[in-house]
Structure 1
């Protein structure tokens, strides 16, 4: 069959002006004619870019926005700094050395028998000074050095022929090496010459000069201060004014102090009214427990502690000591109380603390304060280790935490109808038992809660007791040193004769 190439066929293309043929659907030329131009891309010029972006005003607007951003940021920073500066905040006090120190009452034996035995001799005390300093002790109160009928002024005259002077001087030198200060105890020691105190004015004047000479003598030896009792003849405005003049002569580099041990219920104030900036007494040492010949009962201890906690703060710096007798179970609780009260703690000599780590406990020897004489050597060693851990923890916390140094004190009365959980999870109420005593030491946002269970039964905290307190906290110390880590106040159960120190913080954060 012949093919008509002119009309239509496979691969044919319609001619110009023709339509309806087979190839009429292919209207687009397959090849671009050579005379049509090709599109080329090229960057915009500056003029074209400014015109496209809105003209030259856009640059100024962008500059203004950048400047406004940085000015706003700087203003916010300045306002934040101003708020921080003008906001009320606690200002740290400039504490003196006797306000930051831990006092340790020590009574060395100066007899010849003690020097031969070596147990409580001056040499044994000197060897333990670096160890006491490592525990945080800052001041030694040297008790029992002078006999009750011996005058310190007489000692200055006769000390050249006495071995006592050499021993005390040796102790003062070693204390200076260990960075420990020494306060001499003149309490109930007659500072006058051994003769009748009733005499003429000339004799009184000579006695006053002799006492001042004695003070200068011991201050030259490096003594940091003197301790007297409120029942001594030296505790009077006239006498202490003379003492202050002598102490000021030696206070150019470091202040020398006068400590008064309170033995009466009310202490006579002796601040000089004519000179308001002169304090005749630097430290008042108060006893938490009343002095008694018998061991105080639990209720008597609770009443005495609660009375001291409710006392109003006074201008004179306080130092606290145990004073009266208490059971061995309450000694650790009292130690926690001493180290957390406002003021300087004064710890009485304790074999568990005073012995160095290199000095082992004698097997079978009676232990001071032990209720059970059959306690084994291992139990004694574990008990002494626990006491040392408690003492060191409290001492370090007292020295490093501002809230425990000069923070405010708030007594928290506890609900006496507290409940405790028994071993079978039954809740029993003991309204007649001694309550939990509690107080708060606060500085800024830092709060330390101290809980004291003086009774013989366990107690747990009532959630309605102090709703304003943060619920969460972390253990700092406990009398048994058997609590660690974080805790919730409402999950606490205080065991009999147990004390706790808890640092409070808001939930989810540590303060």
Structure 2
């Protein structure tokens, strides 16, 4: 009886000498071997090696339903939270807006004082006979002043004080006629008309002109009455011509309440809003004689330097300036002029001082501001004189710097509120001198101090530094700690300081004045 032996596939593969089943042209499995061909579909055993499933289902995107969104967002309670957050945002925004408005309304801020025309004007005092120069060509006297009106207006001058037009003798003068030295009456009328047309006010100087006339021992009352009537007629005559006012001295007989009251009565007939007629009083003494009614005088011209026959020293100039800076002015509107005799080195410094003090500056005639000086210099020189030519070149350069400084100061004063009606604060100054200590002996007086003050309006401050002495000064780091630390140069006597600067790095040159504009952050502007 023969026994049968079944051979498994594993034995067939592992047993040498045995031929594998299904060995033929078609390979076994789904992967064909080298030199063989085959496929899954051609093999009966393919399903055994590579199971084929039904495949993964394709997921399609579908929007969430309302119920699903509410579940994802936390349900109806989350909607209430969002509404509360939106409401809280708008309530906070409205609260911040209301707080900002309350801060702006309740915060202190400067109130601009309405200024009259003479409080905003720059007065220019000149004598027309100074324009009578035989070396120059063209018009002279009153006609020369008329021709310079556009130029004077370009410098920022707002009013002219014409001096020396009338006699100052003991007999009562005729104030409706000129002495003929500088021009005739029609020429003066033409000057007033052209000045008014250009927006330049004209003030006639009656200072030291005798308005009372000679009186006999009995004091003829009829004569005094006639003189008063004559003065009334003369005032009306010039007011009709368009004159803006009259200047008198505090020593004149017209400086009395009775006379000024009469003048005021005449002024009312010719005054209108913006065209008020004024009385300018020149103070010649240390103190102005009091008046019971201060409103009778509009402007008081005060001298910064005391009258002196000799040239004042730097220390005397510094003392005079400091005295005025520490003195509180009266209710009468002040106007500043240099007055005394100072060194030419301090000429520009005093100009900066006048232009930045509270009040209206009254600048005396300066030949450096006369554009006719170019013509005079050309007439006086010859082509062959080299030294003269060089000196004239230096003179012209100096004149241009003087005009640039004057124009810069006048225009800054016209557009800056702090310089027009800002507050004034005198600053005690501490400085370090850059000069060697060996330059001073123990017996020698100390150098004049540097003077400083502020003109402030809101958060804008103008710092004015004046070095009257002949030595340079540097600012101490601890000086004025409450001031802003930096600013921008507005102008200087040398017209060579530009751009921003830190106060700690400022060093003043000898006889130099500097104007720096400071900004205080975080304050009302």
Q: Which consecutive residues of structure 2, in runs of 5 or more, have no partner in the other structure?
A: 1-18, 31-44, 382-386
Q: Does residue 293 in structure 1 map to residue 314 in structure 2?
A: no
1:42 deviates by: 2.5
SS of aligned partner of 1:361: helix
Given candidates 212, 225, 239, the residue that maps to 2:232 is: 212
Aligned residues: 479
Range 324-333 or range 100-109, more displaced: 324-333
Q: Does residue 376 in structure 1 map to residue 391 in structure 2?
A: yes
Equivalent residue, structure 2, for 1:398 = 413
SS of aligned partner of 2:271: coil
1:191 deviates by: 2.0
1:243 deviates by: 1.1
1:142 deviates by: 0.6
Equivalent residue, structure 2, for 1:49 = 69
SS of aligned partner of 2:148: helix
Distance in 1, Cα, partners of 2:267 & 2:210? 20
TM score, norm. by length of structure 1: 0.84
Distance in 1, Cα, partners of 2:374 & 2:303? 32
1:187 deviates by: 0.5
Distance in 2, Cα, partners of 1:37 & 1:443? 80
1:467–1:52: structure 2 CA closer, same or farther, 3 Å change rule? Answer: closer
- Kept in 1, the 8 Å contact 2:177–2:185? The answer is no
Measured against aligned partners, the alpha-carbon deviations of 1:98-144 in whole angstroms (never above 9, x if no partner) come to 01100000111299998997564111111111111011000000100
Q: Does residue 388 in structure 1 map to residue 410 in structure 2?
A: no
- Kept in 2, the 8 Å contact 1:153–1:211? The answer is no
**Aligned ranges 1:76-475 → 2 under 5 Å:** 76-109=96-129, 118=138, 120-149=140-169, 154-156=174-176, 164-193=184-213, 196=216, 199-253=219-273, 254-272=275-293, 279-355=295-371, 359=375, 361-362=377-378, 364=380, 376-415=391-430, 418-421=432-435, 432-475=446-489
1:305 deviates by: 1.4
Equivalent residue, structure 2, for 1:17 = none
Question: Which protein is bigger by CA-based radius of gyration?
Answer: 2
Distance in 2, Cα, partners of 1:37 & 1:507? 70
Given candidates 22, 26, 31, the residue that maps to 2:53 is: 31
- Kept in 2, the 8 Å contact 1:459–1:494? The answer is yes
SS of aligned partner of 1:473: strand
1:116–1:3: structure 2 CA closer, same or farther, 3 Å change rule? Answer: closer
Measured against aligned partners, the alpha-carbon deviations of 1:33-57 in whole angstroms (never above 9, x if no partner) come to 8xx9765442233344334434445
Across the aligned residues of Structure 1 and Structure 2, the Cα RMSD in angstroms comes to 3.6
Q: Does residue 489 in structure 1 map to residue 503 in structure 2?
A: yes
Range 334-343 or range 405-414, more displaced: 405-414
- Kept in 2, the 8 Å contact 1:420–1:428? The answer is no
TM score, norm. by length of structure 2: 0.81
Measured against aligned partners, the alpha-carbon deviations of 1:55-101 in whole angstroms (never above 9, x if no partner) come to 44544443332232122212211211211111001111111110110
Distance in 1, Cα, partners of 2:85 & 2:466? 63
Distance in 1, Cα, partners of 2:81 & 2:224? 94
Distance in 1, Cα, partners of 2:88 & 2:73? 21
SS of aligned partner of 2:128: coil
Distance in 2, Cα, partners of 1:205 & 1:115? 47
1:250–1:460: structure 2 CA closer, same or farther, 3 Å change rule? Answer: same
Distance in 1, Cα, partners of 2:186 & 2:470? 50
Distance in 2, Cα, partners of 1:418 & 1:471? 18
